[in-house]
Amino acid sequence: MRRANYERENGTTAFSDFLGAERQHILASATPERRAQMEAAEESRAVYRAWNAVCSGTREGRHVTGLRYLPESNELLVYLDSPSWTQEMTLLREIIRARMERAGAHVDGLVFKTTRPGHTPPAAKERLRPVAPARPPAPHADLNEAERAEIERQVSPIEDQKLREALQNAMRASAEWAKGVQSKKES
């Protein structure tokens, strides 16, 4: 195993010191292009970390469907699940940017966009999955001819055909449910 720029045998060394020395060693041996890539990656990590510190677990953060750091313009592109949340977050832009700066990441801007229709990221699919188990179907029992005729007799005075049919359907569904509950109690 390769040793960093310090002697481990002489005492205890903090893990952060070890990581710092390894980072310096890696950066020193990298080409200028590779070093620039690594520094850009560290910068983007700081931006994502600051975003999570500010928005993760919040009401607003639950509507985020994606993040993308744009290093060339030093902006964070934030995708949201609805136009109303895009508008809300646009209004909160400067507050979020100031809080991210306090959390250690400077970005020149936040850009909010609505996720295209039909696109649901995997994390949102998990969030949208129903938590409660499905309820059992409502009890139901078919009505006999006399019960159906009685419902028709009760709604016959209504002149508006659509209203009469709607009320008849509602009364039939209610009677079928009540009959189903009653038969379930008896069994």
Across 149-168, b (16+ Cβ under 10 Å) vs e yields eebeeebeeeeeeeeeeeeb
The pTM for the full model equals 0.49
Distances in whole angstroms, Cα of residue 93 to Cα of each of 23, 69, 86, 97? 34, 15, 10, 6
For the chain, how far is it from start to end, CA to CA, in angstroms? 76
Higher local confidence (pLDDT), 15 or 69: 69
Tens digits of per-residue pLDDT, 142-156?
Answer: 999 999 999 999 999
Tens digits of per-residue pLDDT, 53-73?
Answer: 998 888 888 888 888 888 888
CA 148 – CA 157 distance, rounded (Å): 16
Residue 96 has pLDDT above 80, yes or no: yes
Confidence tier at 182 by pLDDT (50, 70, 90): confident
In this prediction, residue 1 carries a pLDDT of 46
In this prediction, residue 37 carries a pLDDT of 74
Residue 49 has pLDDT above 80, yes or no: yes
CA 57 – CA 155 distance, rounded (Å): 53
CA 48 – CA 40 distance, rounded (Å): 12
Tens digits of per-residue pLDDT, 104-119?
Answer: 888 899 999 998 877 6
Q: What percent of the chain has pLDDT over 70?
A: 86
